[in-house]
Structure 1
Amino acid sequence: MSKVNIILVCSAGMSTSLLVERMKLEADKRALDASIEAMAESELKNHLDQLDVVLIGPQVRYLEKQVKKLVEPKGINAAVIDTMAYGRIQGDVVLDQALALI
């Protein structure tokens, strides 16, 4: 698999930053070449050419339709992050969710 580009859409909160760090650690453990970033939904449109999947923070799940409308025409999947995995900051589980969507 070539480099995987994952974006987490959030309200730029601290918990999402922690989750991104845990996902990066898990990707390193698996020797997976991955770019994982968190950003506000308003920034997403500037990154469509270099991403494979979008995960949406549970706290902004109301953005799901809007995000999907933006990314799906480009063949990019989007989904809301599993609430339990998000709350427990389980980078491995969220990374698995992202990879399953690609």
Structure 2
Amino acid sequence: MKNILLVCAAGMSTSLMVNKMQAAAKNRDEEISINATAGGNIDKYGDQADVLLLGPQISYQKDEYVNKYEPKGIPVAVIDTVDYGLMNGEKVLDQALQMIKEK
């Protein structure tokens, strides 16, 4: 199973993106777990993720997450602002799966 973790400031708006991504994932023949958490709670979930996607509102913290998780083999990226604003779950899911494929 692929584990995708979305991280944002409070976990609220990103949970909406999780719903959109889960809907997109239903059409794929893969087992995909998608969850969201606030940055302050990431220690509970971060090491279990195959990829971390950061909400645009915390893009300024990207280097911190990269330094902590990429040495563990967990790629980190910021969700595109337009895709996030439009809640384009299909494109964000594609981004995450491509990152997992490239690791």
Q: TM-score, normalised by structure 1?
A: 0.90
In 2 relative to 1, CA 13–47 (structure 1 residues): closer, same or farther, beyond 3 Å? closer
Whole-angstrom distance in 1 between the partners of 2:12 and 2:46: 24
Q: Which residue of 2 aligns with 1:64?
A: 62
Q: Which residue of 1 aligns with 2:97?
A: 99
In 2 relative to 1, CA 75–20 (structure 1 residues): closer, same or farther, beyond 3 Å? same
Structure 1: gaps (5+ residues): none
Whole-angstrom distance in 2 between the partners of 1:44 and 1:76: 13
Number of matched residues?
100
Runs of 4+ in 1 over 4 A off after TM superposition: none
- Structure 2 matches for 1:31-70, cutoff 5 A? 31-70=29-68
Structure 2: gaps (5+ residues): none
Counterpart amino acid of 2:86? R
Q: TM-score, normalised by structure 2?
A: 0.90
Percent identity of equivalent pairs: 49
Q: Which residue of 2 aligns with 1:74?
A: 72
- Give the superposed CA RMSD: 1.2
Counterpart amino acid of 1:25? A
Q: Is the 8 A contact 1:15 1:89 kept in 2?
A: no
Whole-angstrom distance in 2 between the partners of 1:7 and 1:13: 11
Q: Is the 8 A contact 1:12 1:38 kept in 2?
A: no
Whole-angstrom distance in 2 between the partners of 1:95 and 1:77: 14
